[in-house]
Amino acid sequence: MAHDVKIEQVEAGGQTYDQVVELGNANSSTLGQLPYAVFTEAAASGCLLAAKLRGEVIGYALFALRKRRHEVSLTHLCVRDDMRKSGAARRLVEEITRLHSDRRGIRLRCRVDYPAHDMWPRLGFEEWSRLRGRSRAGHMLAVWWRRIADWTLFDVLAEVSEAAVDDDLIVAVLDTNVVLDVRDGRDKGASRALMADWLVDHAELVITAEVSRELLASKRLADADYTDADQHEFPQLDSAASVVSEYYATLRGADSLSTNQDADLRVVAETVAGGASHLVTRDDGLLRSADEIERLVGVRVLSPANFLLSIQAESADGFEPQIIKTSSFAIQRRSSVPANEVLARFTNQAWGERAAELRDRIAGAVGEPGGRVEEVTAAGTLWALAAHCIEANTLRVNVLRSLGDRRAYSVLRQLIHGLRQRAVAYGAESIAITDAVGETVGRALRDEGFRNSEGLWRAEVSQLVIGCGDALPDDLGLPDPGVEQPSPALISRIELQRWPLKVFTGAVPCLVVPVRPSYGRTLLGYREAQMTLIETAPEAATARENAYYMGRRTGLSAPARILWWVTGGGPEAGVRAMSWLEDVDTGTPERLHRRYSRRGVFDLDQVRQSATSGGRGSSAATVLLFSRTDVFDHPVEAERARVLASDDIWQQGFAITARTVSERTAEALYREGMGQPQPTDHD
């Protein structure tokens, strides 16, 4: 079978790429969860290979090319369970060797209690050393090496030695208080999180001579019978005494650091003299002086939680701050944990929660793979925040809080939707909210499709697009179309609960609705520059549910899909988004505007202008109440839309307002807008 296995480089996107990511997620319990963007970056740099048998992915290798060591670092080598004897693993390793024949070798780490531990010798690897993993369980990791180029044994040993500092790793000194947190098991979540296995690939944690002396002098360590030989597990940084003295003199001579302890400044001096770039500490004096220390000697002084956040940010997946539609609100990633005085505004007063407890909850997420803190801000004010991480195939949210302002509900809806976008980016299959949420948060979660079970809020994540005529998966809970046509309301609810799932069955009515560019920017959430329109519609800009007015229409019913056609013929024109129509209301402009003005962008005069004149000087308008708008990555221009949709929805080059089209047409426009392949059987 081995000779039938084909190896190919994987490019981002496409069926092969999706199968590789799916295989990685299925084996995350042993491989560890990697952000979706890691696969994308590996593919872009030629460091993602797939093993295929009869056109189907049965294994893959994800690796990195280390600069200073001039070696290959193997991150994932994964073969499907039923294909373990196919020779795919060997073929992948041999292809890496062929592609990078100038490299010294391939290096990897693997837990000794995993079944794969016995596989590496058969693939030509030799075990060079062992080290204890940084997780609380302290699993042993074996370091494996397979030579490629012809180097001497001395060269290889020097390069694979775990004592050697990799130029791709951040070197960080742990202060005495942080080491004691770890060694004594003190309840400091962020300090303990420094022991997570995933951090091994990003940072080398060390101590200095001063920290070592303080540890030996510690009564805690003395009582535990630690000796000079085994009093810590972190290597000691080598700092020349003369260089330490120079940096210490610089620090001690600064008036702004006059209140800092001599021992603390000596640790800083040893840090910079030894070539480390970070000092991780809980010492309040050092943290208050962090900016001045960095200015004087270039060392970043961070708390454990903020150090972990900085590591996560440097290995980030390209997530940029996102303006919430055209408002001043923005969802963005924090590079530090908020101060206690800021967190105090978000504590659960009914539970008597303290800011320090909330900070520990945030730290519990920050220290895990994918750990990050996201916030919603406007005009310099923090309105909401969430802390989350990846646990198996789940995006676990430890903290989800907002201010108790009247706009809290809308802001939370946006933040929760942002969490679903994060889950998609990571390839997670579900989201779990473990925070003790309040009434407003609970309402926002329900309206975003989350379900509560025994105090835990959950939502599934599915990136499937099920087309008209496709077989419906059994786990969706939809009836067999051959027996019973699923109702639009049921399909709407299923999509809400599993966003971004799309289910096109032909059962849901679909409307093409023209909208002017100026309204579309706010209602549909374009990323173009802000417009003055938002000054008259702040609620509409932040809402996940909106209103759009038109002349009186009959025969429209909800739920239905809306395809938004931006008019004008300019660069913004075309089909740009798809929403769910939740309700329809018809009445006088005055009544409609009074009832729905906070969800729309029309003022009363504009509603009147859109209304249809009736007898005796009366007029009536129809409002479309819609939600869950998916803005297309690639707007479908008019000419392409005419190819995909039937010509009878256009007259003289213009789309007819609120004309019903088939859901097969809606599916084709959605796939085109999202850059997905059209089904081969599409008419």
Summarised one tens digit per residue, pLDDT across range 347-402 is 887 778 889 889 888 888 887 777 889 988 877 788 889 999 988 889 999 999 98
CA–CA distance, 671 with 669 (Å, rounded to integer): 6
Cβ partners under 8 Å of residue 98, min gap 6: none
Does the predicted model carry a pTM greater than 0.85?
Answer: no
Strand ranges across the sheet with 48-53: 6-9, 48-53, 56-66, 71-79, 105-111, 140-147, 126-132
CA–CA distance, 119 with 107 (Å, rounded to integer): 14
Give which of 464, 514, 521 is closest to 494, Cα–Cα.
Answer: 464
Mean pLDDT of the chain: 80
Greater confidence (601 vs 640) lies with 640
Domains in the chain, CATH or no CATH each: 2-160 (3.40.630.30), 170-310 (3.40.50.1010), 318-460 (3.40.630.30), 465-503 (no CATH), 510-673 (2.30.130.30)
CA–CA distance, 441 with 376 (Å, rounded to integer): 14
Greater confidence (531 vs 472) lies with 472
Distances from the Cα of 245 to the Cα of 212, 217, 270, angstroms: 18, 22, 9
User: Tokens in use for 434?
Assistant: 């473990």
634-648: average pLDDT: 76
470-484: average pLDDT: 76
CA 459, 464, 468, 470 dihedral sign is negative
The phi-psi region of residue 621 (left if phi > 0; otherwise alpha if psi is between -120 and 50; otherwise beta) is beta
Q: Which of 104-118, 218-232, 288-302 has the lowest mean pLDDT?
A: 218-232
List, for residues 48-94, the tens digit of each pLDDT value. Answer: 999 999 899 999 999 988 765 678 889 899 999 888 888 999 999 99
CA count, 13 A, side-chain hemisphere, 535: 2
pLDDT value of position 531: 32
Greater confidence (133 vs 298) lies with 298
